[in-house]
Amino acid sequence: MSSGGNRRLRRHRATWVSLGVFGLVLGLGDAVLRLRSSDSVCHVVNASAAVAHSEAFRGVVAATAATVVLPNIGNAALAPMVEFIHRTAPADQGQFAEQWVLNRLAVDGLDAQCCLMTAANYLAMFTLMQAVASTKRTWSDFAAMRGMVHRDAMSFLVGHVPASGSADQHATVQRIHDCIVTGRGSATFVNNVRWDKLNKPPLYTAVSAEHVDVVETLLMFSGVDANGRAFFLESPLHRAASLGNPAVIAMLLGAAAINVNARDTEHATPLHVLGASSRFDDGAHQPQLRRSAELLVNAPGIDVNAANEDNMTALHYAIIHERTVVAQVLLSASGIDVNAGDRDQDAPIHVAADAGQADIVQALLGHRPVRVDVNARDRKNRTALHRAVMRGREHVVKLLLNATDIDVNARDVHQTTSLHRALVRDVPNVNVITLLVNAPAVDVNAGDDTLWTPLHVAAARGQTAAAEVLLSRPDIDVNAGDCTRTTPLLVAVKRQRLDVLALLLGVPTVDVNAGDDDLATPLHWAASSIEVDASVAELLLATPGIDVNARDGHQGTPLHWAVSFGHGQVVSALLNAVGIDVNARDIVQRMPLHWAVLGGYVDAVDLTLGHFDVDVNAQDIGQMSPLHLAIRNGNVSVVESLMKARQVDVSVGDEFQRTPLHLAARLGQEQGAAFLLLKATSATVNARDVNLTTPLHVAAALGHAGIVKLLTTVAGLDVDAKDLDGMTALEYALGRSHHGVASLLGSYMPGRR
């Protein structure tokens, strides 16, 4: 609902819930009463004192202790109210109660006063209300407070300001009386005099008090202003409508120059106010409500389609506030616009469908001669059917689906149908979904703005029952792809919706190998993260026709994905799958073992090395073996695992003929070099790259003394080897001032400097 709607509810609709509903009687007795605030803070009060202070408690407490939940009162208001109950006598209407309030509110300001007044009004604590009302206020105070408290509480404050029974008011009454008795005087005095400091005219005050005789008397004055305004620019007719008093309404409608379409500060007419009246929550008052509505609707000059500041008509108001009787009377009015849109483009049928008011929806659908637009759109392009399914309003959905011209496939701004919307509820109504799925002409494969079908939504949200209903349709497209070619099966895998996944895998036409726009299949995604439970991959691997070696857009297989993320359980499951290609190459010619090494996942490396067919020396597009990559990454544990492989070749050269030992020498990887040297021969330590550089050249030139020392322990080391520039390792060490390295090499070659 719009912000304007919220304001309307605050001002025109009583939202207080009977305490009898929330009183959880734990036993009978009057010793103590437990009061629990809306934020779950409990207070214990004397039951007798509480009942004496508050009429609301009398229906809750009989003879034993009780706990009363106060859903509308927070502890900030409840705590001072409990203190007031304890410290004041119920009959104390005088200075003590007033002084307590003055002391309490002296530093808290208007917010605290409004909070306390609203709570006291809710609990019918009139002594406290009178004490709060006794506080002196300015006109600006009242103006600020009117939007902060409920209308009933505000009326009490205004009606009980200090000196409301003043000599001036007595004089006013006497003067009016004298005018009537003597027959002298005119309406000028009645129109101009103000009853209190809030400038309420006497007629408005009499209407508010429902003093029918006084209203009748005041209207006897020739020329009396029956439209004299009070607070919120309310006319007497506004006030009479809010009270739903047909006798007073009839009197006012008979007054000369009565404005039946008068507007208050929110541009609401008396007819709006009647539709929002809180006085008729009790069913016993429905006849009064109907009679009041009939009087206003049939009043000469009435505009039944008048709109307030939010462009809402009285029909909108009546439906929002669930005043069915008023709505029925309005629908019988000549010229009623059943398709009027408010500021949010909500038509009455949107509001009724949203609120689940089946009787009103039925009345709207049957309205003649003007037919309701059953497919009317709100500002989000939603129809009444969208709104009904979003709230799970089963009875309303039935009515709408049976309506002539209903568009069951209507799209909102996100291109979602009512079936989409029914599925996005936190707790979907399966009955509503079934109604929609079985509706004639429904498109169960409709795609939204991302091309998600209802089955995508059900898969994403794990709604198994809804998915079963959808799959019961013979025309369901179980392999529908969204804008990224993602199928419902892929969605179920990504979201780990195992029940829906199992259901989809049981559909004979499901394509278990359907890939997205990167050609990644469900099995790829099941292997994509350790956060995805291995049971997802296991379900897929058990499905007939699964391609364990499916390629993505980069030629990667599910095994490539699994080792890249270190998903050990999935790696193990894939390696045990029939037909697995452990040496499959991706777009850069890397096998799963390469990616396991790059990720530094020792478990994945060990599992892959355990496969009987693995090629431990395979080279990628840069001619780098897994051992090269392990050394480059400096992962000693992975190097150790690779060196345990029986067929590992430490002399394999990359595209520049560099061996893993060359890389270890360049990077100063002493531990890695030590493992490499366990299987090294003289040919290995003296291996030449494209520049005829040996590992010793590299280590000496970079000053890696530890590597040099390790190399000098290998028999057959050629310390005199010269590179393409004719330089030896010693010459590089001396030329770059690596004196420690030069000393090591000098000691290895006695007599040389």
Q: Give residue-wise pLDDT tens across range 552-580.
A: 999 999 999 999 999 999 999 999 999 99
pLDDT confidence tier of residue 435, bands split at 50, 70 and 90: very high
| Phi, psi for 64 (deg, rounded to 5) | -135, 175
Residues facing residue 44 across a β-bridge: 34
- Same domain for 522 and 637: yes
User: What is the model's pLDDT at position 751?
Assistant: 41
Q: Is residue 237 assigned to a domain? A: no
Single-letter amino acid code for the residue at 163: A
User: Across the chain, how many H-helices and E-strands are there?
Assistant: 44, 4
Which of 489, 509, 529 marks a domain boundary?
509
- Same domain for 551 and 478: no
User: What is the model's pLDDT at position 123?
Assistant: 82
- Residue matched to tokens 């008979």: 254
pLDDT higher than 80, residue 483: yes
| Phi, psi for 34 (deg, rounded to 5) | -100, 125
Q: Where are the alpha helices (DSSP H) in 381-429?
A: 384-390, 394-401, 418-423
Q: What is the mean pLDDT of the chain?
A: 86
- Same domain for 486 and 516: no
Q: Which of 139-153, 266-280, 508-522, 707-721 has the highest mean pLDDT?
A: 508-522
Residue pair 344/382 in contact (Cβ under 8 Å)? The answer is no
Residue 343 in tokens: 């500021």
Q: How far apart are CA 639 and CA 630, in angstroms?
A: 6
Q: Is residue 353 assigned to a domain? A: no
Q: Is residue 376 assigned to a domain? A: no
Which of 478, 509, 540 marks a domain boundary?
509
The pLDDT of 308-316, averaged and rounded, is 96
User: What is the model's pLDDT at position 68?
Assistant: 81
Residue pair 42/34 in contact (Cβ under 8 Å)? The answer is yes
User: What is the model's pLDDT at position 636?
Assistant: 94
- Same domain for 631 and 546: yes
- Same domain for 611 and 645: yes
The pLDDT of 313-337, averaged and rounded, is 94
- Same domain for 666 and 543: no
Q: Where are the alpha helices (DSSP H) in 439-505?
A: 454-461, 464-471, 488-494, 498-505
Q: How far apart are CA 18 and CA 21, in angstroms?
A: 6
Give the whole-number percent of the chain exceeding pLDDT 90: 62
User: What is the model's pLDDT at position 17?
Assistant: 33
pLDDT tens-digit series, residues 234-262: 899 999 999 999 999 999 999 988 999 99
Class of residue 430 by CB neighbours under 10 A (exposed 0-12, middle 13-18, buried 19+): middle
| Range in 13-22, 282-291, 652-661, 729-738 with the lowest mean pLDDT | 13-22
Q: Is residue 326 assigned to a domain? A: no
Q: Is residue 127 assigned to a domain? A: yes
Q: How far apart are CA 363 and CA 478, in angstroms?
A: 40
User: Which residues touch 587 (CB under 8 Å, ≥6 apart)?
Assistant: 554, 555, 556
Q: Is residue 87 assigned to a domain? A: yes
Q: Is residue 408 assigned to a domain? A: no
The CATH number covering residue 42 comes to 3.30.710.10
The CATH number covering residue 473 comes to 1.25.40.20
The number of domains in the chain is: 4
Q: How far apart are CA 35 and CA 68, in angstroms?
A: 5
User: What is the model's pLDDT at position 193?
Assistant: 54
pLDDT higher than 80, residue 308: yes
pLDDT higher than 60, residue 139: no
Q: How far apart are CA 226 and CA 230, in angstroms?
A: 12
Residue pair 607/642 in contact (Cβ under 8 Å)? The answer is no
Tell me the torsion sign for CA atoms 112, 117, 123, 125.
Answer: positive
Which of 596, 621, 649 marks a domain boundary?
649
| Range in 13-27, 104-118, 326-340, 509-523 with the lowest mean pLDDT | 13-27
pLDDT tens-digit series, residues 142-181: 656 766 777 677 767 766 655 445 555 455 555 555 454 4
User: What is the model's pLDDT at position 23?
Assistant: 36
Q: Where are the alpha helices (DSSP H) in 576-680?
A: 592-599, 602-609, 626-633, 636-643, 660-667, 670-677
pLDDT confidence tier of residue 141, bands split at 50, 70 and 90: low
The pLDDT of 39-48, averaged and rounded, is 86
The pLDDT of 375-395, averaged and rounded, is 97
User: Which residues touch 607 (CB under 8 Å, ≥6 apart)?
Assistant: 568, 571, 572, 575
- Same domain for 670 and 632: no
- Same domain for 556 and 477: no
- Same domain for 153 and 12: yes
- Same domain for 631 and 524: yes
Q: Is residue 717 assigned to a domain? A: yes
Q: How far apart are CA 190 and CA 202, in angstroms?
A: 7
Q: Where are the alpha helices (DSSP H) in 307-439?
A: 314-320, 324-331, 348-355, 358-365, 384-390, 394-401, 418-423, 430-437
Rounded to two decimals, what is the model's pTM? 0.70
| Residue with the larger pLDDT of the pair 28 and 580 | 580
User: What is the model's pLDDT at position 633?
Assistant: 94
User: What is the model's pLDDT at position 48?
Assistant: 80
User: What is the model's pLDDT at position 473?
Assistant: 96
- Same domain for 494 and 534: no
Q: From residue 312, how far is each of 308, 411, 462 by CA, in Å?
A: 5, 25, 39
- Same domain for 713 and 620: no
Domain encompassing residue 587: 512-649
User: What is the model's pLDDT at position 88?
Assistant: 77
pLDDT higher than 60, residue 45: yes
| Range in 48-52, 60-64, 448-452, 570-574 with the lowest mean pLDDT | 60-64
